[in-house]
Structure 1
């Protein structure tokens, strides 16, 4: 643990902005008069020990050059009582983080739930579905192991009641803290010396009577052994009832962006081949309502047959087994979509917020073995349970349509007579016929234990620790179509005695393989209603289990080497060893489906790309990596207390890291601080940082996916199609790991200043510029991008063309292969503003705090040779939306007077324009403007003294004026609520009330 000693009386906001090397939030109680926080530069006897992230060096009065935002737990709870991570995500330093309300829940193949923080939006944009991975999370200076096997850290697992504050390093910090700190570090700092009992009990609900949530927690701290020992214990429980998309405006309305020009004719197909594509210059996107996908009808549609001349192709199947013509609704400028009619969409009764329960406990025991040596052991345990419905079972050709052969008893006479021979068939697609939805049950257990010694001798401090962390994740997605059983059940025949049976049941060589088979009817609407036994047989449970373990040992030494006229030369050195292992098993691993003929023996009509289940085929992953690291940091004071040089200091850090998978990599940082006058601090750093590939990226087995793609057609000079099918339907994809991945490389520049004018006590202002470039980024192309890149290459000659499986050049792909690689880069730059003011007002205390960020640049290139995408000021339209406004801000005004306190906070999200960056040309919208949004939150509190402690009654209104989010649908109807869920609040006005107590 590394610390600066900072005057207790200098913890006021105006001074701490300098003394803590960056802005801090409410470092003293709001009622403390500002005159009690007079500036003092040197630590005095009795000053408090404060651990400030940003430097490994411990030196009284030292000011690190890296900006650090410090937010106390009490202040975060005032504005956002739900959780500390929820409050952090309102600060402009964070963007596009994952949280329960900011991720889609249609699939269960990737565990990306919880609060996953995303500094600087550097985990965005990305086609990697695993979530933000470039922000390092620390718990009291110790690296938190991943809580999920994909490498993310759910910060909800940490003991919130015992947090003292959160330090946010908003710049590269890999030299000081290691891999993953490309965007910065978030250090949750424990209140290790807390003594007493405290707790919280609260409940919340939206103004519409839904989205209920509850939280209860209790924590305590006690001395023992005559004050030489200290014990901390806490337990917390949180519940969220969740929210369906159908419970919010627009959730049931089928909004989607569609092309605005029906029958678009392109006069220049050679010079501008994408002009008539949806979003092209001649076919700009517009918002459509009740948009449906034309490929199918909910109850069923005949989409093909063994003979292309069959007159029933394209017909809709009625509940009584008869057919009728397909109603194409109103045409739009997106192929395969329509407004109204007989198409289908993704149902709105899926979760916008998946219900979850979280249990969390923490314990710590420390003891002074001698006056100079302290021993401690601490542990965290957390469990999160989730249960939600996933995307409905569907028969979606070509990936999963079913053939109904002649003489199937469920065929009407008319349909049966249209088939000439026993091998003739109708190809049926069906979705939303009323069948029950699959249900995902997820449980994540996480624990982390640390034992360590820390002490001092002479002018040196040392520490050594061992940490073991482990996460266990299990997922059961029940009610999914089991592909083998599905095709056995659908191929129904008569047994000659008037009974309908599975055809394979009549074959003695196959009967045992399909034991228990019951026929399923897809020709009379909902198969779960018409043939419940057959539907039950045809569905099953896709399951996977993952266990990730991390062991690390760290040792460090810090102190002063010698004295210079300006002060001591301080250093910190250390070493770390870390081993991480992953073991992921699955009952639906695509890699194990090696003998398809044996697995699907005797079945007819199984598509070439069929896997074990309709969805959620998760591949196994096994691997480990060990990491050896050594670091050093040096702080050199150059000048002090001279004209124009109240202080001038240099700081440097270096780290060398050896990965068993990718070899040796070096990181470094150089920084300086300069105080020309007492009221002004100038600072700057440059650094080289890394993010090493995690085990899932390296060793993940094949993971199946599905999504709608537009398979554009390439034509020859005579207008004949030579490549591509022209279809706009679902395609199967498989994504796997890449053991050859190398670390990502980040380069960061920051410089700025902090002003604390003596003529205005209680006021401080900091402004910092940052510029970050990350190269060698681990990225994957989407299935659509792979198709588009092959199209742009003329259908051959591009690497992407080899990733597409087609039966013929003009048939729709049966499978698209997706592999991560070090192919991308991004650059971002901007300005951080932080202003605070504290003063007395009447008989109370007034505190004002402003955080703001201006995003000057956010450019990304997905692979060498691809167009550079410009994201600054853009609301990204898509199934995984992101938003990067030019301006973001958060203003909090707090007033306390005796037992009463009120906090009013205002969150600003600047205007943006709609776009889907990354193409050769900017996507066009009929109206691309997104207006700025203001959210107002109000909190009130009343403190009741009781003995040596107090009760605090509190109430909070989030989104006080019930501001509706902007209408921003995706390009596929129903995937998410029709807004940018990564940016905007869609719950609306919500209330929380409760009590906090401390004794």
Structure 2
């Protein structure tokens, strides 16, 4: 393959250089490259220009594989939205959406509809979401809608979309950064005339997950057809789904070690007895809980050695009882039944969301050679979901209750000799209200441009502005400053009533005005001391504003003719600037100085007068988003050439090559060059062979470069502390802080594809494209997890390694109080596979039959998180992580549509191949008692009835998704309650659902 790539490169080396402009050529007959339209009449099929460097029809004649899907076809089986329909195609996998993201946390804005081509955005558990798929709106780069750099495609207008073009290969030379996995271009129907609309409603068979959609679009010409106007408005609402609404969400299914008291066999390392080790394989068990605390409360420690109450559970009346250890499992710190806690099932499996969209466009032909246009749109996306409960978990989140606290039972108070002595109390879900996150994205875009022809060349010039304001308010969270003030209660000598101790200290009382005592010693503090709970909780907020300005100018046309046809070139320039301004009321960096002494002084001032505040405490429980501020500019020049070599000769009905190059200068990461070479060869009329080789990049985005400290929390197994406080291998929550890295460099990718297209003349209406792809990305921007940092430090002997410097401990033998995480160009990934795209259209009886098959075979998906780490194989694996992912060997989507007069029916079959369970990336292989996940088929059925009315029609439709109510495979997490016990990124858990509505067009 390298020789083929070199040959292609050498062939185009003497030509001009390539561009993202869409060159033009005469469309092939419909029998050879069938249209994506539903029409059967070949005479009605019109030329369509598809995203890429050549004119193609359905992507069947492009050197780079292109999938073309009309919005009409996409919405037949998935009427909820175009992005939802795209995610059923095998080219997309492990995308994010309100139903495919864990909603326990709100630190990362990953809950919109974020498309992921080839799964290239998900390896190594990247929490920011897919970043290697470029999103275009009618050929223009869509600016980020979230501060992490992703695009929520829900903000794009859908009613005026004509089709979606998916370039499934590296396309940086054509479109610039981010196109490592490919390009998704939402193509506007710029000449739509008339009025059309939709009104629909859906609900699951179980009476939940309701949704509604309504929209209308209008298009008209004016000034004797010299001008054209488009207008649209849309509203979508999805009411979401709580995890407890499904039986599997209430069972507490979790993977735990299967061998209690595991002892390594002779000659085997201790790691074989880790949970999931070969001597302690994972097994799925119900009602698994974390042993650290009990929901109502547990006394986890004391300043008095040997205090008899340590370890006991606190009852609602203030009395205590022994902790019920339930049934032991092979994971330290976990148990089945008894006391203990998990993430309760009242969090959202599907985040409720609403979207509002408006769009307008006006174009005018100033002359036969010049057309001008302006267009703009505004959209709002709103999400509201329940996040993880407030918990008080040791070592960094529990609360000290000191002697003399009037809420402290006398028996416990008697075990504390002095006023400075205390017990430490942890608490989980005692019945307190759940925190709620509200996310809102306001996005608007505006473009003005000119295009025309001059001297045989086509040209275009445009200016675009994109502006996004993303806000989050996570309310009901413990405000640590107020919590520790409210929990340290004494008796007011003036009136004999409980009061906050800090209010009796004149030096700091003003900082705690309004403090009300909270009682965590009698169950639900929101019930026992509602005013105290209200004081101790607050709202973590941030606002991120992203702006993008882009100037583009390009030319394309034929420069001269060769015997085989014209030589087409395209060239142009682009300039883009972006800015990010993220502000927060809970910036972790505000509690840290440049030295340990400065940090101690800052924290002492913020927590002035308080005692017992853990060193890792920030502003709020869980959600502490750091601020970020930065900007960059990008200068680009590009060129393209398409050279016909032979035509209409024996064994060379067509032979052509093309090449592209783009030089890009980033103000933040320097100058890079991307390129691509490709060619097509048609030995006979019925067969087209094609291949490409490309060199692509993804430059670090503003958040990766300039992010402030972001807080997080997660369970870490710290086996280093065999002689420390917590013992060997205990699973405890550890706080982490992640920040940006201004020294990041672009990721680098090399992609090659080769394949063929068969359009047999003996079978009109049939086309089959089969393409092999191979993608390798180096210098991948990734971060290690807190667990990996701790493990790497351990493997280095506990000192000396770079990772050890990222871990903070109160003493060398205590559990980490904080783990710092920084992104770097440390990883690589490699993937390869085969895409199959087949279509067939014919007449059957008095009706029309259309069949479309999309399939993908995943040959390889490998990733290495950092140099020296083991290479992880993801292919064929169902990956168990907080945001799970799946990499089936085979995925397919088969759609059969039949229409006869006013009636139409569509059957869509989605196939997901069997997989095996795994957690790639660990130092040793992970073992399961049963690691098999069976293949799954989903069937969607849609009926429609069209009623002619005047110059248009009204279409009544009903769609049944998951017709046979296929249940998702049971796949737990390794953390109790973190998700529904299935792979939410891959499988449907809503069950059979119905949508009915009306579409009209006049």
TM-score range, shorter chain: over 0.9
In structure 1, C-alpha distance between the alignment counterparts of 2:21 and 2:630, rounded to whole Å = 33
Q: Following TM superposition, by how much is the alpha carbon of 1:308 offset from its aligned partner in structure 2, in angstroms?
A: 2.5
Q: Following TM superposition, by how much is the alpha carbon of 1:342 offset from its aligned partner in structure 2, in angstroms?
A: 0.5
Determine the structure 1 residue equivalent to 2:146: 148
Q: 1:6 to 1:938 in 2, by over 3 A?
A: farther
In structure 1, C-alpha distance between the alignment counterparts of 2:894 and 2:58, rounded to whole Å = 32
Instruction: Confirm or deny: 8 A CA contact 1:58 1:558 kept in the other structure.
Output: no
Partner of 1:161, secondary structure, is: coil
Partner of 1:488, secondary structure, is: helix
Determine the structure 2 residue equivalent to 1:113: 111
Q: Following TM superposition, by how much is the alpha carbon of 1:193 offset from its aligned partner in structure 2, in angstroms?
A: 0.2
Instruction: Confirm or deny: 8 A CA contact 1:470 1:549 kept in the other structure.
Output: yes
1:872 aligned onto 2:889: no
Q: 1:414 to 1:714 in 2, by over 3 A?
A: closer
* 1:453-484 per-position Cα deviation (integer Å, ceiling 9, x unaligned): 00002310000000000100111111111111
1:611 aligned onto 2:618: yes
Partner of 2:704, secondary structure, is: helix
Determine the structure 2 residue equivalent to 1:528: 526
* 1:555-583 per-position Cα deviation (integer Å, ceiling 9, x unaligned): 00000111111111110001100000000
1:884 aligned onto 2:883: no
In structure 1, C-alpha distance between the alignment counterparts of 2:172 and 2:28, rounded to whole Å = 32
Determine the structure 2 residue equivalent to 1:906: 909
Query: Once structures 1 and 2 are overlaid, which stretch shifts more, 747-756 or 109-118?
Result: 109-118
Q: Following TM superposition, by how much is the alpha carbon of 1:727 offset from its aligned partner in structure 2, in angstroms?
A: 2.4
Q: Following TM superposition, by how much is the alpha carbon of 1:57 offset from its aligned partner in structure 2, in angstroms?
A: 7.8
In structure 2, C-alpha distance between the alignment counterparts of 1:308 and 1:287, rounded to whole Å = 38
User: Map of 1:736-815 to 2, 5 A cutoff?
Assistant: 736-815=739-818
Partner of 2:250, secondary structure, is: coil
Q: 1:171 to 1:998 in 2, by over 3 A?
A: same
User: Map of 1:619-658 to 2, 5 A cutoff?
Assistant: 619-658=626-665
In structure 2, C-alpha distance between the alignment counterparts of 1:689 and 1:713, rounded to whole Å = 42
In structure 1, C-alpha distance between the alignment counterparts of 2:339 and 2:725, rounded to whole Å = 31
Instruction: Confirm or deny: 8 A CA contact 1:708 1:729 kept in the other structure.
Output: yes
Structure-1-length-normalised TM-score: 0.96
Determine the structure 2 residue equivalent to 1:203: 201
In structure 2, C-alpha distance between the alignment counterparts of 1:176 and 1:705, rounded to whole Å = 38
1:418 aligned onto 2:421: no
1:29 aligned onto 2:38: yes
Q: 1:60 to 1:185 in 2, by over 3 A?
A: closer
Q: Following TM superposition, by how much is the alpha carbon of 1:725 offset from its aligned partner in structure 2, in angstroms?
A: 5.5
Determine the structure 1 residue equivalent to 2:515: 517
Q: Following TM superposition, by how much is the alpha carbon of 1:3 offset from its aligned partner in structure 2, in angstroms?
A: 4.2
Q: Following TM superposition, by how much is the alpha carbon of 1:603 offset from its aligned partner in structure 2, in angstroms?
A: 0.5
Determine the structure 1 residue equivalent to 2:918: 915
Q: 1:660 to 1:61 in 2, by over 3 A?
A: closer
Q: Following TM superposition, by how much is the alpha carbon of 1:8 offset from its aligned partner in structure 2, in angstroms?
A: 7.6
Partner of 1:513, secondary structure, is: helix
User: Map of 1:394-793 to 2, 5 A cutoff?
Assistant: 394-496=391-493, 497-594=495-592, 595-713=602-720, 726-793=729-796
Instruction: Confirm or deny: 8 A CA contact 2:23 2:54 kept in the other structure.
Output: no
User: Map of 1:51-62 to 2, 5 A cutoff?
Assistant: 51-55=49-53
* 1:571-612 per-position Cα deviation (integer Å, ceiling 9, x unaligned): 000110000000000111011124111111110100001101
Instruction: Confirm or deny: 8 A CA contact 2:124 2:863 kept in the other structure.
Output: no
Instruction: Confirm or deny: 8 A CA contact 1:116 1:153 kept in the other structure.
Output: yes
In structure 1, C-alpha distance between the alignment counterparts of 2:164 and 2:37, rounded to whole Å = 15
Q: Following TM superposition, by how much is the alpha carbon of 1:307 offset from its aligned partner in structure 2, in angstroms?
A: 1.7
In structure 1, C-alpha distance between the alignment counterparts of 2:83 and 2:827, rounded to whole Å = 29
Determine the structure 2 residue equivalent to 1:241: 239
In structure 2, C-alpha distance between the alignment counterparts of 1:814 and 1:771, rounded to whole Å = 43
Please give the root-mean-square deviation of Cα atoms over the aligned residues, in Å: 1.7
In structure 1, C-alpha distance between the alignment counterparts of 2:323 and 2:365, rounded to whole Å = 79
Determine the structure 2 residue equivalent to 1:299: 296
Determine the structure 1 residue equivalent to 2:165: 167
Q: Following TM superposition, by how much is the alpha carbon of 1:669 offset from its aligned partner in structure 2, in angstroms?
A: 0.1
Determine the structure 1 residue equivalent to 2:354: 357
Instruction: Confirm or deny: 8 A CA contact 1:56 1:176 kept in the other structure.
Output: no
Instruction: Confirm or deny: 8 A CA contact 1:4 1:49 kept in the other structure.
Output: no
In structure 1, C-alpha distance between the alignment counterparts of 2:726 and 2:930, rounded to whole Å = 33
What is the total number of aligned residue pairs between the two structures?
A: 973
In structure 2, C-alpha distance between the alignment counterparts of 1:410 and 1:859, rounded to whole Å = 56
Determine the structure 2 residue equivalent to 1:317: 314
In structure 2, C-alpha distance between the alignment counterparts of 1:921 and 1:591, rounded to whole Å = 35
Q: Following TM superposition, by how much is the alpha carbon of 1:389 offset from its aligned partner in structure 2, in angstroms?
A: 1.6
* 1:116-140 per-position Cα deviation (integer Å, ceiling 9, x unaligned): 1100111121332110000001111
Q: 1:714 to 1:171 in 2, by over 3 A?
A: same
Q: Following TM superposition, by how much is the alpha carbon of 1:61 offset from its aligned partner in structure 2, in angstroms?
A: 13
Instruction: Confirm or deny: 8 A CA contact 1:179 1:689 kept in the other structure.
Output: yes
In structure 1, C-alpha distance between the alignment counterparts of 2:739 and 2:657, rounded to whole Å = 45
Determine the structure 2 residue equivalent to 1:15: 32
In structure 2, C-alpha distance between the alignment counterparts of 1:723 and 1:29, rounded to whole Å = 66
Q: 1:858 to 1:817 in 2, by over 3 A?
A: same
In structure 2, C-alpha distance between the alignment counterparts of 1:954 and 1:335, rounded to whole Å = 54
What are the ranges of 5 or more consecutive residues in structure 1 without an aligned counterpart?
Answer: 18-25, 38-45
* 1:186-210 per-position Cα deviation (integer Å, ceiling 9, x unaligned): 1111000000000000000000000
In structure 1, C-alpha distance between the alignment counterparts of 2:213 and 2:695, rounded to whole Å = 41
User: Map of 1:796-835 to 2, 5 A cutoff?
Assistant: 796-835=799-838
Query: Once structures 1 and 2 are overlaid, which stretch shifts more, 112-121 or 202-211?
Result: 112-121
Partner of 1:50, secondary structure, is: coil
Instruction: Confirm or deny: 8 A CA contact 2:694 2:752 kept in the other structure.
Output: yes
Q: Following TM superposition, by how much is the alpha carbon of 1:787 offset from its aligned partner in structure 2, in angstroms?
A: 1.2
